[in-house]
Amino acid sequence: MRKLLWKYFLTALSVAALSSLNSFSSARAANPDGERLYSDYCSSCHGEELRNTSGGVTYDLRRLKPADHERFVNSVLNGKNQMPPWRGALEPEQIEAIWAYVRATLDK
């Protein structure tokens, strides 16, 4: 009986992991520009794949919640603290693509 329960547990865990991976891959595949734009404009300060290694010098994007969208857009457009404004350098669609990449990375 224990072996059977263990087998069901492992199967359920595998299905959940694959489902999570698939939704992350789908989100990134649906918007490949977001990953490229993040790499080009954001990763040098905020870290590759949002892995902030600045020790608190830059905002850790992993702390962003879905409700922080407006704050994110405002910070990107107008800058904040040491972050320069990207208004005029990034189009609204590009900012949205970066947001989609951030959310897909966080929600995986």
- CATH number of the domain where residue 79 is located: 1.10.760.10
pLDDT of residue 35: 95
Comparing C-alpha atoms, which of 45, 37, 40, 51 is closest to residue 105?
51
Number of domains comprising the chain: 1
- pLDDT band, residue 26 (cuts 50/70/90): low
Tell me the residue range of the domain where 35 lies: 2-106
Which tokens is 43 given? 């990763």
Q: Is 6 exposed, middle or buried (0-12, 13-18, 19+ CB in 10 A)?
A: exposed
pLDDT of residue 23: 46
Quickly count: other Cβ atoms within 10 Å of residue 98's Cβ.
26
